[in-house]
A and B are shown apart, each in its own frame.
Chain A
Amino acid sequence: MADQALDGAASRPLLSLRNVNMTFGGVKALKNVSFEVLPGEVHCLAGENGSGKSTLIKVITGVYRPEAGAVIDYDGQSYSHMSPVTAQAGGIQVIWQDLALFPEMTVAENIAFQTVIARWPRLVNYAEMRRVATNALQRLGVTLDVDLALHHFPIAQRQIVAIARALVGQAKLVFMDEPTASLTQSETDYLLDIVRNLSASGVAVVFVSHRLAEVLEISSRVTVLRDGALVGVYPTKGLTQSRITELMTGKTFGYSALHRDLGTSPVMLEVKGLSRPGEFQDVSLTVRRGETLGITGLLGAGRTELALTLFGMRKPKSGSVVLDGNPVRFGSNRDAIAAGVAYLSEDRLSLGLIQPQAIADNMVVASLDKILSRGFISSDRKRSLVNRWIRDLGVKIGKQDDAISTLSGGNQQRVAIAKWLATDPKLLILDAPTVGVDVGARAGIFDIVSKLADSGLAIILISDEVPEVYFNADRVLHMAQGRIVGEYAPCATTLQAIEEAVYA
């Protein structure tokens, strides 16, 4: 579409794709997509979950073979499809979100692991490994102790190691899949510097991220995908976060901020001066019955730590918590659940749900006492409870006994919400409830949240996506470095104002 001519005269594209189509089980994952990367540029691939970003990367790296008619031009050669071997030989490297590193091995071995991959066994040349690793790190402008096992390093430095490993493979084009997802702000800044260095040394970087602030900061151009189709390619200069959001979602946000009158509603939760050194300090907040309080802020701001403390899984150093008029001090999350606090974890895969187990079992695990009859689990009660929640929350399942992992992200999240509603909570804390949930299903989740608030539940909604809290919360707290630094009423503030404050 527009703006493709940018710098076009100056350099030929390193990579250029046209007419890429992919279909999975009758669903079109990519619809006639084209994509282009210039040598040495930082290019951003933006789109919501399920927009086709990772499918596109897998086509480029040869994991998937596109339908006939596709043209892939890379580094002066033309292909109808790539293979993992041609992609790697041509210098295309991907840094996956899970990094695929070896924690017990040294940094040098992780970076130079390519040198121990050989058809026939050879002696290991540790000196050569160290040299290769140090060189790669030097190119990034980083010094690490290459002889120390990787597990001694924090996640941000492991990310660096993964990048250094990609450089050893003579990379010309590096894809980074959500590299900042688990980094704190200062770590992210560090990483962005590295990306700039890479770009300056002539390596093209495709940055995949849903964090718009970073997108704007690092890239020169942005390609936006939506529902498997290309929306357009835009020079970053002149874009704003809200504009990218519009492009990604295709909505001009006809939503308006909430207008609920909660003036007389009784206070459900009152927190005063809550502190846990190193995590959060002096946090005070109140949530009324029927109110949704949004908490936003960057990763590492202490949001999840605060939530876990309210949920009784960590103990506060000082401060007080009053729930429904009673001062509370929880010894464990069991006390919190009994008192009426529920916490939906941000990590649905490994903490929120017990993935291999049945849907029904996951729904009742937190409220087993309710399905007991004379001390024994009543399968009739269990079935009727589960049926009720499946109906009320509109969960689409095959059988109750199917494993949770057979459900889509959105349906899994509904099951997780049902699990907590079954405990009859007074306060529901939702930590990043839309992570890994498709765009279409997110609205459904927030419909449920809104109905729950209307029924009198107090809700805390935590998210690092400002629009999510802006449109779904009555009040928004901004948390940074463990402190509450701002409070906004969406009906009296613009989205941009909050975004600017948060991403500043």
Chain B
Amino acid sequence: MTVLIDRARNALGPELAGPLAAFAVVMVVFGIAAPNFLSRATFGSVAFQLPELGLLTLAMLLPILTGGLNLAITFTANMAGLTLAWVLQSQGGVDAGIGAFVLGSVLAVAVGALSGLIMGLVIAYTKAHPILVSLSMMIFLRGLGEFLTRGGDVSGIPGFLARIGYSSIFGIPVPLLIFIASVLIWHILLTRMKLGFNTYMIGSNIEATRYSGINTRKVQVLVYTLSGAMCAVAGIIMLARFNSVRVGHGESYLLITVLACFLGGVNPFGGFGRVIPVFVALVVLQLLSSGLNLMGANQHLATAVWGILMITVMILRWLAGRLKFLNTNRG
């Protein structure tokens, strides 16, 4: 039994305690405060809203683990969405077939990956700060997108794509299924694969990792490329959900994804952090906003509460550290 617990702890990491505690608190508080909170509707809305923010958070997670950041995620997602939309348009718009969708999705992922690839190359070869590189990429992509769309919407999406956005398999919305699959892929990547292992090592000390015979440039390039590809998946889901793409869609998610990573116990300097706690943190954030919605508040209040939650968690961590320090000094 203890072996099993140990294994579980190893797989999930010690970071899980914070998000799980927050989860419990949110469930109890809203369970009491909002009588209709523990209902199908709440979980339906969480399941519905989680994927977009979640996929973008996964895209943010990998760069943060290497000690960097990808500020271009939302506009990369927009560009990928635009790519798919244009392919569909050129293949007949609302009458486009499934083949066009597949082709468009592949191209969309390629566009996302390309944006990541460029950032990865610049970061790996010039050692420029990732915040700056991704920030300028963000400004560039925003400009590019607005230039190409003239600031308007691109719509005319075939009906089956919209249906994908809203349909369910075994009662689980398709976007949520895609998100859960992505979470699992990221979890396996980080816990079981060489690239994931090296990602953590680079995050702690890139030079020592290079001295150990790891191709650190390749790891950095791959990390940003995968991050860009994951943005593209988010962009495709967003297109299916909104039936259109507009540059700037989902812009407000950018800093929320960073917040979700930190809330999930990811080390802001890199090297430590796991997918599952981040997943739980995302669920907590969505439950919070759904709960507040039920009580009549809007998304803006939820945003503020997200920030307060983050601060609270950080203060609790600080307190826990102080207690530990005092105890060891006494003993």
Contacts and interface: CB of A to CB of B under 8 A. Distances in A.
Interface in A381-415: 401
B271 A345 contact: no
Contacts of B188: 376
Interface in B161-219: 188, 191-194, 197-198, 200-201, 204-205, 207-215
A332 B215 contact: yes
Given A361-B201, A377-B192, A379-B10, A356 B211 contact: no
B283 to A, nearest CB: 27
The bracket for how many chain B residues form the interface is 20 to 34
B211 A334 contact: no
Contacts of A361: 197, 200-201
23 contacts: A333-B210, A351-B208, A352-B208, A352-B211, A354-B208, A355-B205, A355-B208, A361-B197, A361-B200, A361-B201, A365-B201, A365-B212, A368-B194, A368-B197, A368-B198, A376-B192, A376-B193, A377-B191, A377-B193, A377-B194, A379-B10, A401-B10, A419-B212
A361 B208 CA distance: 13
A334 B211 CA distance: 9
Contact of A377 (B197, B204, B207): B197
A361 B196 CA distance: 12
Contacts of A182: none
B211 A357 contact: no
A137 interface: no
Contact of A357 (B200, B207, B210): B200
Nearest to A420: B212
Contacts of B213: 333-334, 336-337, 366, 423
Contact of B211 (A333, A355, A376, A379): A333
A150 interface: no
Interface in B31-46: none
A357 B212 contact: no
A333 B204 CA distance: 20
A357 B204 CA distance: 7
A74 interface: no
Contacts of B211: 313, 333, 343, 345, 351-352
B208 A334 contact: no
B43 to A, nearest CB: 33
A356 B271 contact: yes
B277 to A, nearest CB: 16
Contacts of A355: 204-205, 208
B192 A357 contact: no
Nearest to A373: B192
B209 A372 contact: no
A355 B188 CA distance: 24
Nearest to A369: B194
Q: Give the interface size class of chain A.
A: 20 to 34
Contacts of A356: 204-205, 271-272
A423 B205 CA distance: 20
A354 B193 contact: no
A219 B24 CA distance: 67
A375 B201 CA distance: 19
Given A343-B211, A356-B204, 6 more contacts: A313-B211, A332-B215, A352-B211, A376-B192, A377-B192, A377-B197
Interface string B295-314: 00000000000000000000
Nearest to B188: A376
A353 interface: yes
**A-B interface, 5 closest residue pairs, ranked by CB to CB distance from nearest:** A337-B213, A376-B192, A366-B212, A365-B212, A354-B205
B271 A357 contact: yes
Contacts of A354: 201, 204-205, 208-209, 212
A11 interface: no
A365 B210 CA distance: 10
Contacts of A337: 213
A401 B11 CA distance: 12
B49 to A, nearest CB: 33
Contacts of A143: none
A25 B271 CA distance: 31
A350 B205 contact: yes
Contacts of A345: 211
A289 to B, nearest CB: 23
Nearest to A403: B204
Contacts of A372: 194
A247 to B, nearest CB: 36
Considering residues A356, A375, A376, which has the most beta carbons from chain B within 10 angstroms of its beta carbon?
Answer: A356
Nearest to A342: B213
A178 B60 CA distance: 44
Contacts of A313: 211
Interface string B250-272: 00000000000000000000011
B197 A353 contact: no
Interface string A36-78: 0000000000000000000000000000000000000000000
Contacts of A334: 213-215
A407 B197 CA distance: 22
A355 B271 CA distance: 11
A354 B213 CA distance: 13
B116 to A, nearest CB: 23
B202 to A, nearest CB: 9
A23 to B, nearest CB: 16
A353 B10 contact: no
Interface string B13-38: 00000000000000000000000000
A377 B192 CA distance: 5
B246 to A, nearest CB: 41
Contacts of A365: 197, 201, 209, 212, 214
A187 B79 CA distance: 57
